[in-house]
């Protein structure tokens, strides 16, 4: 009788240990924890700081940022900071991604050009916002890796190309919006020629002192707005020599 009781106690302890193990490292509990962190991120880092666009907020809740960073940084994926992704590049902090997405006012059916695919996180947020994305990445290894990830996650609205984004993607122009995730010294002239009337360009501009800007193409010409100071990796390729 006592031996049976001991066995029962041991089985109960073992069951509890298995439960703890699943909470610590099991995939279902990890995904639940990530989802909770994602909702907290949107509530505290994004919505509380003024981003109100419902489509953007929902997209930020859906995109699993921890899949777009190296595994060693996955536990920091929902912190309010950029993270390294290799090749000298970074993934922007969630708040900046949300602000830039809100600035283009995403709507289903829009066609957006993204310069600097990077990790693919901004690309995924744009896709979840209902837009068709044409994205260019200059670093081949990064582009290949990101293309595979976006395919695996089912983002069919993302069209990726390896190349220098300075010249844009004229074959698919004009675009409703163009978004840059790296900072040129000045707005690349070829990109200004690939925007629809009423469309916009959202980008960081500058060297050591950078500003996030929004340029809207009106009937009278370009209307420029400075959003706030930012810090992005510099745009490489032809942008480095362009004045």
Judge whether 212 and 100 are in contact, CB under 8 Å: yes
CA separation for the pair 15, 11 (Å, rounded): 6
Tokens representing 186 are: 């000045």
In this prediction, residue 243 carries a pLDDT of: 56
Q: What is the pTM of this model?
A: 0.86
List per-residue pLDDT tens for the chain, 243 residues long.
Answer: 444 444 343 333 333 333 333 333 445 468 899 999 999 999 999 999 999 999 999 999 999 999 999 999 999 999 999 999 998 899 999 999 999 999 999 999 999 999 999 999 999 999 999 999 999 999 999 999 999 999 999 999 999 999 999 999 999 999 999 999 999 999 999 999 999 999 999 999 999 899 999 999 999 999 999 999 999 999 999 998 875
Per DSSP, the residues of 72-92 read GGGGGTTSSS-EEEETTEEEP
In this prediction, residue 241 carries a pLDDT of: 87
In this prediction, residue 9 carries a pLDDT of: 36
Domain residue ranges of the chain, discontinuous segments joined by +: 54-240
Query: Which 3 state secondary structure label does DSSP give 55?
Result: helix
In this prediction, residue 143 carries a pLDDT of: 96
Residue in 21, 74, 92, 241 annotated catalytic: 92
In this prediction, residue 168 carries a pLDDT of: 98
What residue has token string 């400075």? 226
Closest CA to 183 of 100, 105, 98: 100
Fold of 54-240: Rossmann fold (3.40.50)
Length of the chain counted residue by residue: 243
Mark whether 92 is an active-site residue. Answer: yes
């Amino acid at each position: 009788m006592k031996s049976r009781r001991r066995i029962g106690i041991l089985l109960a302890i073992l069951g509890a240990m298995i439960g703890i193990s699943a909470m610590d490292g099991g995939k279902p509990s990890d995904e639940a924890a990530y989802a909770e962190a994602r909702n907290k991120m949107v509530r505290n880092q994004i919505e509380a700081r003024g981003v109100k666009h419902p489509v953007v907020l929902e997209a930020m809740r859906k995109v699993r940022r921890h899949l777009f960073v190296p595994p060693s940084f996955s536990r920091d994926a929902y912190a309010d900071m950029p993270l390294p992704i290799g090749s000298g590049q970074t993934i922007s902090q969630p708040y900046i991604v949300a602000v830039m997405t809100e600035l283009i006012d995403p709507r289903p059916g829009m066609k957006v050009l993204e310069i600097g695919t990077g990790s693919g996180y901004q690309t995924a947020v744009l896709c979840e916002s209902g837009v068709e994305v044409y994205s260019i990445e200059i670093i081949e290894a990064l582009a290949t890796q990101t293309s595979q990830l976006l395919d695996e996650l089912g983002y069919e609205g993302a069209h990726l190309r390896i190349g220098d984004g300075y010249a844009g993607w004229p074959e698919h122009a004009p675009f409703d919006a163009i978004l840059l995730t790296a900072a040129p010294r000045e707005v690349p002239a070829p990109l200004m020629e690939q925007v629809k009337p009423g469309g916009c360009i959202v980008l960081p501009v500058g060297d050591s002192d950078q500003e996030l800007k929004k340029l809207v193409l009106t009937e009278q010409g370009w209307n420029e707005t400075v959003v706030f100071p930012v810090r992005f990796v510099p745009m490489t390729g032809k942008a480095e020599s362009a004045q």
